[in-house]
Copies of this chain bind each other. A is one copy, B any other.
Amino acid sequence: MAVDKGEAWAFAGRIMTMGDALSYRLRRAQHAVLQDFVETFARLDLRPTDFAALLLIAGHPGLKQSEVAEALGIQRANFVAVIDGLERRRLAERRREGSDRRVQALFVTDAGQALLDQLIPVWRAHEERLVARLGGPAARDQLDLLLERLYDAPAA
């Protein structure tokens, strides 16, 4: 491809669009993966955040709401509706049990644990579908590494 002259936004001989942007590819990939996830869990009426919260609380019983929210990367204010929903469905529960009566300690109920036991294989299948698209476990590990560099790196 030649072509240029005059148009300073052309680079290395070709017209640039956001298709050349990493942010664009990330957005497309994230959207595709999210769709697969949502479709996988839709029939169970569980959104990604619900599942992530259940999984985290099951692995670390007694975590505070604000700790779970932070680990999930959402505002504690926005986590209230999430835990409200899980509690209403009797999948998780809040308990004021420490000496500090401000904190809500979180636990997964037996029903929540039973649901998780069902869901883990479904999630694993979802992950394996993605690994297959990527070309195998080695490719997945490579992708994990690269993605981590993007968000672990100091903000420039």
In angstroms, Cα B22 to Cα A133, docked, is 12
In angstroms, Cα B143 to Cα A59, docked, is 31
Among B18, B60, B139, point to the contact of A52 (Cβ < 8 A): B18
- Asked whether A27 lies within 8 Å of B25 as measured between CB atoms, the reply is no
**A143 contacts which chain B residues (CB < 8 A)?**
22, 25, 143, 146-147
**A26 contacts which chain B residues (CB < 8 A)?**
26, 29-30, 33-34, 147
**A144 contacts which chain B residues (CB < 8 A)?**
22, 25
Q: Does A64 interact with chain B (Cβ within 8 Å)? A: no
Q: Does A116 interact with chain B (Cβ within 8 Å)? A: yes
Interface range, A side = 35 or more
The answer to whether residues A149 and B134 also contact, given A22-B127, A23-B48 and a CB cut-off of 8 A, is yes
In the assembled complex, 11 residue pairs joining A and B whose CB atoms fall closer than 8 Å, in A order, are A9-B55, A9-B59, A16-B120, A22-B144, A25-B144, A27-B73, A35-B155, A134-B149, A139-B149, A142-B142, A142-B146
The 3 closest A-B pairs by CB, nearest first: A18-B52, A15-B59, A32-B151
Other A-B pairs, 20, CB within 8 Å; known A23-B37, A24-B52: A9-B117, A10-B59, A16-B55, A16-B59, A17-B59, A18-B72, A21-B123, A22-B143, A22-B144, A25-B148, A26-B34, A28-B147, A29-B147, A29-B148, A30-B30, A32-B151, A33-B150, A36-B156, A135-B149, A139-B149
